[in-house]
């Protein structure tokens, strides 16, 4: 464990600009949940009454961002740092395309242990910390209990076998995690606590119950939306988990001293590997594994009765690495020497119309996933994507073109060049790893997956 190391690099306490009593904090993280999947974001097929109620009771973000895939978001959430600093720019351990035009960087197998997580910072303040669910930031010796989570249970997939649950039959993961989360809340109701519940839902395979599948098969589809019964059923499991956890906070009289934050680790997965359509992120373009809005813009909701007024909407862009400094400020915890790339969202919780003192947001996906290797930058309402295979750029005005259908790079050459230069400078600043030309490139085999002998090449290349 790292308690001595964590304590040695903590600084003076912050003065909170929100209530003096340090709140409990609950983070619920969905997996692959798209921006357009929830009722409160306009979906009429999926039934998400409990998550919708969170939005009605609190604050719904319309421009909240994550990384384009799983592990990068989890890394920036835990650390408050951009995942490019660690090289965790793809899911761990990533996958290889040995005959593609570029050789993408090797992905580290874990979040470094010397990273001070928000769990460590809050536990130093006296919080009891609990983590339940998917981790995906390292295996043995790098699990949540090594990163400040005092009570931890890691799970994988949407069902759990008897060997994990102790029950005679296989159980749905969402229900199992909910029980563990509520037990943790009940056990720590007299102490400040930090809880993270990381669901597998709605990640494929879409393993839900027969009664839920039957229910949604009877329901008329939503026009323009895939309306998959398996997807809706699994999302219903997630929604019921959110409802049970929020109800437990209400029952124990903890709601007014608890910030509950719900979000997703990346945009929705539109295509399974067999090209089966899973969901749609419309009106956003594309899906998980890309730097278009469909890959990185996610639902996010904050509830804190008595502090966050009900039924609020925030249009200020924010991102998952903002949660760490937010939690530090709200808990009046000590600050670390560790670089923080995020900004506290406390001003937005007080006033959803507020802005943040930030000029740019950045993403780095130097890998083949559902797109080719690329980086992106957002400045104001303008967004630029730089693709590494052929060095072409795409520039979009998100105010008038949310679906990123009209590339304005040639019409706005000065803006495009300025943003491209800023993106390059950011990559140099965080020492982002870049892909390299592949001497084994074969256009006929470029989409093949495999090891391809690339594991031994150099791990770092400066931008």
- With contact defined as beta carbons under 8 Å apart, do 216 and 225 qualify? no
To the nearest 10°, the Cα dihedral for 270, 273, 275, 278? -30
* Whole-number Å distance between alpha carbons of 70 and 432: 18
For residue 284, what pLDDT band results from cuts at 50, 70 and 90? very high
pLDDT, tens digit, 9 for 90 and up, residues 243-264? 999 999 999 999 999 999 999 9
313: three-class secondary structure by DSSP: strand
Distance between terminal CA atoms of the chain? 34
pLDDT, tens digit, 9 for 90 and up, residues 194-253? 999 999 999 999 999 999 999 999 999 999 999 999 999 999 999 999 999 999 999 999
- What is the three-state SS of 90-145? CCCCCCCCCCCCEECCCCCCCCCCCCCCHHHHHHCCCCEEEEEECCCCCCCCCCHH
Superfamily designation of domain 18-350:
Alkaline Phosphatase, subunit A (3.40.720.10)
**Cis ω for the linkage preceding 245 (within 30 of 0):** no
> What residue spans define the domains of the chain?
18-350, 361-456
- Which among 406, 357, 352 is positioned nearest to 382, based on CA atoms? 406
Q: What pLDDT is attached to residue 363? A: 98
pLDDT, tens digit, 9 for 90 and up, residues 310-353? 999 999 999 999 999 999 999 987 666 789 999 999 999 999 99
Instruction: List Cβ neighbours of 380 (8 Å cut-off, separation of 6 or more).
Output: none
- Which among 339, 299, 324, 327 is positioned nearest to 84, based on CA atoms? 339
Query: 18-350 and 361-456: same fold?
Result: no
Q: Which CATH architecture has domain 361-456?
A: 2-Layer Sandwich (3.30)
Q: Is pLDDT at 452 greater than 50 in this prediction?
A: no
pLDDT mean over 264-276: 93
DSSP letter, residue 265? S
- Which among 298, 274, 273 is positioned nearest to 284, based on CA atoms? 298
Quote the radius of gyration of the chain (alpha carbons, Å): 21
Q: What pLDDT is attached to residue 21? A: 76
Query: What are the strands, taking DSSP E only, across 155-224?
Result: 159-160, 171-172, 193-198
pLDDT mean over 396-410: 98
């Amino acid at each position: 464990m790292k308690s001595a190391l964590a304590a040695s690099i903590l600084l003076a306490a912050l003065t909170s600009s929100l209530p003096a009593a340090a709140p409990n904090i609950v983070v619920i993280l969905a997996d692959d949940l798209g921006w357009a999947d929830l009722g409160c974001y306009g979906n009429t097929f999926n039934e998400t009454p409990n998550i919708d109620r969170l939005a009605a009771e609190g604050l719904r973000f319309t421009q909240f961002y994550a990384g384009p895939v799983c592990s990068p978001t989890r890394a920036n959430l835990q650390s408050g740092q951009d995942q490019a600093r660690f090289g965790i720019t793809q899911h761990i351990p990533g996958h290889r395309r040995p005959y593609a035009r570029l050789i993408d960087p090797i992905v580290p197998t874990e979040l470094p242990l010397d990273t001070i997580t928000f769990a460590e910072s809050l536990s130093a303040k006296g919080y009891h910390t609990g983590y339940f669910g998917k981790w995906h930031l390292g295996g043995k010796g790098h699990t949540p209990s090594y990163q400040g989570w005092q009570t931890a249970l890691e799970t994988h997939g949407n069902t759990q076998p008897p060997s994990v649950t102790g029950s005679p039959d296989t159980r749905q993961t969402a229900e199992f995690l909910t029980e563990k989360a509520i037990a943790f809340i009940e056990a720590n109701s007299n102490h400040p606590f930090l809880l993270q519940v990381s669901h597998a839902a709605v990640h494929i395979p879409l393993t839900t119950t027969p009664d839920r599948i039957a229910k949604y098969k009877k329901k008329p589809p939503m026009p323009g939306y895939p309306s998959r019964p398996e997807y809706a059923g699994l999302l219903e499991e997630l929604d019921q988990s959110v409802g049970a956890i929020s109800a437990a906070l209400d029952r124990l009289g903890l709601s007014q001293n608890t910030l509950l934050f719900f979000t997703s680790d990346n945009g929705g997965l539109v295509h399974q590997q067999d090209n089966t359509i899973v969901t749609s992120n419309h009106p956003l373009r594309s899906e998980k594994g890309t730097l278009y809005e469909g890959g990185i813009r996610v639902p996010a909701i904050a509830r804190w009765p008595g502090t966050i007024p009900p039924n609020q909407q925030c249009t200020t862009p924010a991102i998952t690495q903002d949660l760490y400094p937010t939690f530090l400020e709200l808990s009046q915890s000590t600050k670390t020497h560790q670089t923080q790339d995020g900004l506290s969202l406390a001003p937005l919780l007080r006033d959803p119309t507020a802005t943040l003192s930030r000029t740019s947001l950045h993403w780095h996906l130097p890998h083949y996933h559902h797109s080719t290797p690329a980086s992106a930058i957002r400045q104001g309402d303008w967004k630029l994507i730089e693709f590494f295979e052929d060095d072409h750029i795409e520039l979009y005005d998100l105010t008038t073109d949310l679906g990123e259908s009209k590339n304005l790079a040639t019409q706005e050459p000065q803006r495009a060049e300025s943003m491209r230069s800023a993106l390059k400078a950011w990559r140099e600043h965080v020492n982002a790893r870049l892909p390299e030309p592949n001497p084994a490139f074969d256009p006929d085999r470029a989409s093949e997956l495999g090891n391809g002998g690339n594991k031994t090449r150099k791990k770092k290349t400066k931008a």
